[in-house]
Structure 1
Amino acid sequence: MVVCSCNRLTHKDVEAAVADGATRPREIYAARNCKAQCGNCVKGVVCLLREARLKHMKKAEVPAHMVPVAADVALSA
């Protein structure tokens, strides 16, 4: 999804920047060598940044081999 049409910034760009350590909107733009121009995208970038950071943090917390499979959860319930 395109988040910023001025810079052709997509949600994938935001996710990639977060994976590379971005924690602020300006770091998202800097990862693409651009900056907010008209400003209409800033709220969307902030929202996607929060979502991507949360997703990234959750992945870092629980190793994939530790996440229960649906069948395992049903058996233990």
Structure 2
Amino acid sequence: MYVCLCHAVTDSQIKEAVSQGDMTLADVKKRLGVGSQCGKCTKMATQVIAAQLDVEPNYYEVA
């Protein structure tokens, strides 16, 4: 599903970014551009990030 229409970013891309170590909206924004144009996607993007962090253990936080 598309989360950010301005940059054509999907929830799968956001989940992959979290898998690669991004933990915040700012991290995902740097990598994918989410929320950098109109900003309407930031709430949904934050929810996707939080849901992925709940599912996936964060090995970067331990190290």
- Alignment partner of 1:21: what SS? coil
Rg (Cα) greater in structure: 1
Identity of aligned residues (%): 22
Aligned to 1:46: 46
> Shift of residue 30 of structure 1?
1.6
Q: In the comparison of the two structures, how many residue pairs are matched?
A: 58
Query: Runs (4+) of structure 1 moved beyond 6 Å?
Result: none
Q: TM-score, normalised by structure 2?
A: 0.81
> Shift of residue 52 of structure 1?
0.6
Q: Deviations over 1:19-67 (max 9, x none)?
A: 01111101112222x2521111000000000001111129x7xxxxxxx
- Alignment partner of 2:56: what SS? helix
Q: TM-score, normalised by structure 1?
A: 0.67
| Structure 1 unmatched ranges of 5 or more | 61-77
